[in-house]
Structure 1
């Protein structure tokens, strides 16, 4: 959950979720674009025997097998770039969590990939919420996330996927949500 909170007379709590439009995805899209286009131009330079790169001369490479390998890496890097740009444009994973005491509902909304399930919207009754659960796992693959425990359902993730949030942010957001919903906070 992000810092943006809409609190209307203590009846509505809404947290916006950052999806794919985060700095790390932009960074890796740029890096893979530079690498992919560079390898692609190097492979094409070896095929056409004309230097297409500014930084070095690869026109002297033998096309088979070096040029073919460079073309393959170039296509792979460019494909990764196209995938990242598509995910960023569609804001996959972005959305919001809304807890509304007026309507008595919890709404979890996320954007997905195009198709039948582009809009992912889960709606539950506030009275079915049992607890807010914090999951903290340190080590090689750390995980810090908040979940909503709902009756007869699996735990619903409330925080974004990606780099783990700080322990103090996790505690503050979990406590704020548990206080708003008047349910226990588990896992801390």
Structure 2
């Protein structure tokens, strides 16, 4: 839901709370829990999970390896659940013509840098860049080139946006900011 007027444009950015992240966090949690429980079952010599038989798995070395993979998977899934819980990467892009300022706000992990809030002057924006790479894993990202700084992404790098949408977004941004567009 973009909020746009003649002088102000606020564009919300989605964060980590996406269906795919929920799906992979659940799959990773259940799979790693299964690995861990089968490894522990091989240590005790009895099945802790009725569906997963561990009778033929020796604790040394197979059970230890399964426990290790299970623990590693649980750590990775807890990281994914934390990114979902804190909605890391969400925020907004705010373009204010009256004040002549561009504000990019993103949420990070809790701590000192929880709020990422860079601000730029509109007069320092040189152009909007589109990076388009086709192939097996296409990459379509919009960047804002600012004088004296590195390019700043305006869109998420992992989003699968079709070519028409990214071009339309680039045209809208360039028109509002009154800058040119460059594709690479």
Residue 5 of structure 1 corresponds to 2
Alignment partners' CA distance in 2, 1:54 and 1:180: 61
Residue 141 of structure 2 corresponds to 145
1:117-149 Cα deviation digits (max 9, x unpaired): 221111111111111111111234431110111
Q: Does residue 175 in structure 1 map to residue 171 in structure 2?
A: yes
Residue 129 of structure 2 corresponds to 133
Match of 1:17 among 13, 16, 35: 13
Q: Does residue 87 in structure 1 map to residue 78 in structure 2?
A: no
Which moves more between the two structures, 42-51 or 53-62?
Answer: 53-62
With normalisation by structure 2, the TM-score equals 0.93
Deviation at 1:108, TM superposition (A): 0.8
Unmatched runs of 5 consecutive residues or more in structure 1 = none
User: What is the alpha-carbon root mean square deviation over aligned residues?
Assistant: 1.5
Alignment partners' CA distance in 2, 1:169 and 1:175: 10
Aligned residue pairs: how many?
184
2:126, 2:145 within 8 Å by CA — same for their partners in 1?
A: yes
2:92, 2:104 within 8 Å by CA — same for their partners in 1?
A: yes
Q: Does residue 67 in structure 1 map to residue 63 in structure 2?
A: yes
Unmatched runs of 5 consecutive residues or more in structure 2 = none
Residue 157 of structure 1 corresponds to 153
Match of 2:32 among 26, 30, 36: 36
Deviation at 1:161, TM superposition (A): 2.5
1:48, 1:59 within 8 Å by CA — same for their partners in 2?
A: no
Residue 95 of structure 2 corresponds to 99
Residue 115 of structure 2 corresponds to 119
- Moved segments of 4+, more than 6 Å: none
1:12-32 Cα deviation digits (max 9, x unpaired): 111111121122211110110
2:127, 2:179 within 8 Å by CA — same for their partners in 1?
A: yes
Alignment partners' CA distance in 2, 1:119 and 1:166: 30
With normalisation by structure 1, the TM-score equals 0.91
Q: Look up the SS of the partner of 2:118 in the other structure.
A: strand
